[in-house]
Structure 1
Amino acid sequence: VYNGGDHSGFLLEGLILPPVLIVDVILGLLGNVVALWIFCFKLKSWNPNNLFLFNLVIADFLALVSLPLRIDALLRGHWVFGDSLCRINLFLMFSNRSASIALMTVVAVYRYLKVVHPHHRFNSMNKRQAAFLSLFVWLLVISPRVPMLAYNHIKGSGNATQCFFFTSYKEASWAIIFLVGMHRILTVLEFIFPLALLLFCSIRISRFLKKRQMGKPDKVRKAMRVCVAIVVVFLVCFFPTTVTTVGVWAIRSYRPWDCDSFYTFIQLNIVSLGLNFLNSALDPVVYVFSSSMFRRALCSSLPRTLRCRRLCEEATLDGSWSPEPACWCCSFKGCLKPSA
């Protein structure tokens, strides 16, 4: 969050961000708590895809947990939780945003290799290797954010105290200026490269399936839905922040005298952060599209009258039907049990 010294500008983010973040937290925590419960207690077997999705749940959950303090500060108009929580709060917000992007990309690439290159050695990885890959992704995205924990981001005093990472350059040290610059570079790169990979995977899957005319159209459609869902979520949640970040960067570099435009882009950049965390609320949709085991576990957890025929049929098609009555899917005509 930026503070250029003029607190009248705080009104825009103070008016728009709180309701947006509150919606993000409510929807996101509901979806991700359910997802955590299914992964921890209802999923009977694990594969690499589910391990990647589980790590995505953790990243989203930690990002959402950091938001109530930010909402409180926006509603009060100042930060009351001290320096240590300020550092932790900023670290959780930005590092888990990066982790969510990286893990979404891994899920899409994994799906792409499964469809287009089924014999690729990446597809033969076991759960242990998938866990190591997930750990590597976490280390990769967290490492650039660790320096956030080393510096004081509290500005002002008394009722004017704020927990800001994007500080006024007039009062910031060279280290903070470097961190802010690195953050903006990462914000752009974290959008461009994953988006390029996501689009590549989607286009290649589509062309491959049309060319091969594979005999399992349901499996084909599911693979495409995964990539399309991830691309749509990615664009909606992260494109506005990337555009406004580039705008801030360009104005500061090429029009440093244009304070009004600079301030406008800073405010739009702050407000767009609300969409970043909408990603954590939408990711449970990705879990439903990405994992048949997750869908079946979700189906078995619902009241029998709410379970859908489609999930039931899907379970019989891939041979993974569980004969337990709790896993039967029902329609308005009664309970459906797969034929032998």
Structure 2
Amino acid sequence: MQLEQSDNFTTSFSNITTPTPEGGRGGCPPVGIQLEGVILPPVLIIDIILGLLGNIVALWIFCFKLKAWNPNTLFLFNLVIADFVVLVSLPLRIDALLRGHWVFGDVLCRLNLFMMFSNRSASIALMTVVAIYRYFKVVHPHHRFNRMTKCQAVYVSLFVWLLVISPRVPMLAYSHIKGSGSSTQCFFFTSYKEASRAIIILVGMHRILTVLEFIIPLAMLLFCSIRIFSFLKERQMGKADKVRKAMQVCVAIVAVFMVCFLPTTVTTIGVWVIRSYRPWDCSAFYTFTQLTIVSLGLNFLNSALDPIVYVFSSSMFRKALCSTLPRALRCGHDTDNDKESSSGSQTTQQELKSLRTDRSSEAL
């Protein structure tokens, strides 16, 4: 397989190219990747199926089952939108992998790359906002941040979208189509020799963003998780259930974050270091290239795993989900509530108790 054909998909996601000769040193031969058309299509198809199932259910609950929205719900709803953006873009990539070339033209190529890269940034940013919101609710309950209105939450969401999309907008200004006919491919560049200076700068920005948008939010997520855990342990001794529920949110977010985004970050740094300091180390370059192929599928698995974050992050969402399930599959306390509803006075008391519990749990 020629370099243009073998590296097209890997290059489009993580900008990997075979090292070119630098300072008289010979570069590596073409990688000749054969696995991209074998591994990625089934992995991406699974991501799409699971992502659509989970996010369609989530969207239905947000739109038709939740009667009251709060800032946390709005942030989670924006996360659903970010997931749908990438789920719409992935089928085009699957088609290109199966065909062996790109058939959708220059405009869709630019939009496709833009949506895929923007999704990663938006998902990371919105999950971080959800964790920070939970942190203030638990650790600083009297902070004015907790008095945020739904309108203010909308402004925060718009700011987040603007923040993550702005660095990706330059991608729309350049054509990423290479070749013609049955050899047409949609990706950033083939090699530094063929790339313009603008594209090289764009790729450098992408690599920097890939690393920074993982390290900085991860530090914030870990800080929020540790502070929430220590605060609840100190202030609410004996109330292990509240500690557990509050920590579930942060643990779920950190788990999704690490599983989906850590591999891509590590392989991006690895390829970057090898190309910059060890361009003659072809064995290491090939190893990181293969690992990058595997990490691509995990990178978009977040769209399938995000519904887990919705369940742990919002008690209103969780209760709405449970209420839609068949009685045999409902959450334990919901089933108990149904049994207790036989008595009128008991029902009234239970409803009042549930309302207080909802408000208390939502604060956590």
Q: Same fold (TM over 0.5)?
A: yes
User: Counterpart amino acid of 1:12?
Assistant: L
Corresponding position of 1:108 = 131
Partner AA of 2:54 in structure 1? G
Distance 1:262 1:289, change over 3 A: same
Aligned-partner residue type, residue 80 of structure 2? V
- Asked if the contact 1:101/1:194 (under 8 Å) is kept, the reply is yes
Per-residue displacement from partner, 1:50-83 (whole Å, max 9, x unpaired)? 0000000100111111101101111111111111
Q: Which amino acid aligns with 1:105?
A: T
Q: Deviations over 1:187-233 (max 9, x none)?
A: 00111011111111111111111111256543321110000111111
Give the letter aligned to residue 53 of structure 1.
L
**Alignment counterpart, residue 317 of structure 2, candidates 284, 290, 294:** 294
Q: From the superposition, tell whether residues 10 and 162 of structure 1 become closer, same or farther in structure 2 (CA, over 3 Å).
A: farther
- The equivalent of 1:15 in structure 2 is 38
1:2-41 matches, within 5 Å, as 2=11, 4=17, 9-41=32-64
Counterpart pick for 1:165 among 188, 201, 205? 188
Match of residue 120 from structure 1: 143
Equivalent residue number for residue 151 of structure 1: 174
2:306 aligns with one of 279, 283, 305: 283
Using the alignment, how far apart are the partners of 1:88 and 1:14 within structure 2?
22
Return 5+ residue gaps in structure 1 as ranges.
314-327
Runs of 4+ in 1 over 6 A off after TM superposition: 5-8
Query: Paired residue for 2:201?
Result: 178
Structure having the higher Rg: 2
Q: Secondary structure at the match of 2:192?
A: coil
CA contact (8 A) 1:309 1:330 kept: no
Amino acid of the structure 1 residue aligned with 2:89: S
Deviation at 1:10, TM superposition (A): 3.8
Q: Is 1:199 equivalent to 2:226 in the alignment?
A: no
Hey, what's the Cα distance between the residues in 1 that align with 2:17 and 2:224? 42
Instruction: Give the whole-Å Cα distance in 2 for the aligned partners of 1:47 and 1:159.
Output: 51
SS at match of 1:257: coil
Structure 1: which amino acid aligns with 2:316? M
1:136 and 2:150 aligned = no
Structure 1 distance, partners of 2:41, 2:35, is 10
Deviations, residues 5-41 of structure 1 (Å, cap 9, x unaligned): 8887341211111111111000001000110111111
Structure 1 CA distance, aligned partners of 2:62 and 2:231?
32
Does residue 44 (structure 1) correspond to residue 95 (structure 2)? The answer is no
Query: Which residue of 2 is the match for residue 65 of structure 1?
Result: 88
C-alpha separation in 2, matches of 1:172 and 1:78: 20
TM-score normalized by the length of structure 2: 0.83
Once the two structures are superposed, residues 275-308 of structure 1 have per-residue CA deviations (whole angstroms, 9 ceiling, x without a partner) of: 0110110000010001011011112222233222
Kept in 2: contact 1:307–1:329 (CA 8 A):
no
Report deviation, 1:271. 3.1
Closer, same or farther in 2 for the Cα pair 1:180/1:330, shift >3 Å? farther
Secondary structure of 2:297's partner? helix
**TM-score (normalizing by structure 1):** 0.89
Q: Deviations over 1:89-124 (max 9, x none)?
A: 111101011100000001011111111111111111
Return closer, same or farther for 1:28/1:112 CA change in 2, 3 Å cut-off: same
Residue 107 of structure 2 is matched in structure 1 by: 84
For 2:212 and 2:339, how far apart are their aligned partners in 1?
Answer: 46
- 3-state SS in 2 of match to 1:80: coil
Question: Matched residues, percent identical?
Answer: 79
2:224 corresponds to which letter in structure 1? C
Deviation at 1:265, TM superposition (A): 2.2
- Residues 330 and 188 (structure 1), Cα distance of their counterparts in 2 relative to 1, 3 Å cut: farther
What is the alpha-carbon distance in structure 2 between the residues aligned to residue 170 and residue 104 of structure 1? 38
Q: Is the 8 A contact 1:165 1:180 kept in 2?
A: yes
- What is the rounded CA distance, in whole Å, between the counterparts of 1:180 and 1:148 in structure 2? 9
What letter is aligned with 1:87?
Answer: R
The one-letter code of the counterpart of 2:127 is M
Alpha-carbon contact 1:308-1:329 (below 8 Å) kept? no
**Is this contact kept in 1: 2:327–2:335, CA < 8 A?**
no
Residue number among 219, 227, 230 corresponding to 2:253 in the alignment: 230
* 1:127-156 deviation per Cα after TM superposition (whole angstroms, max 9, x unaligned): 011110010000000000011111111112
CA distance in 1 between counterparts of 2:289 and 2:348 reads: 61
State the aligned residue count.
324
- The answer to whether the 8 A contact 2:233-2:243 is kept is no
Specify which of 28, 53, 78 is matched with residue 55 of structure 1: 78
Contact 1:308 1:330 in 2 (8 A): no
Shift of 1:258: 2.9
Aligned to 1:248: 271
- SS of equivalent to 2:102: coil
Gaps of 5+ in 2: 1-9, 19-28, 350-364
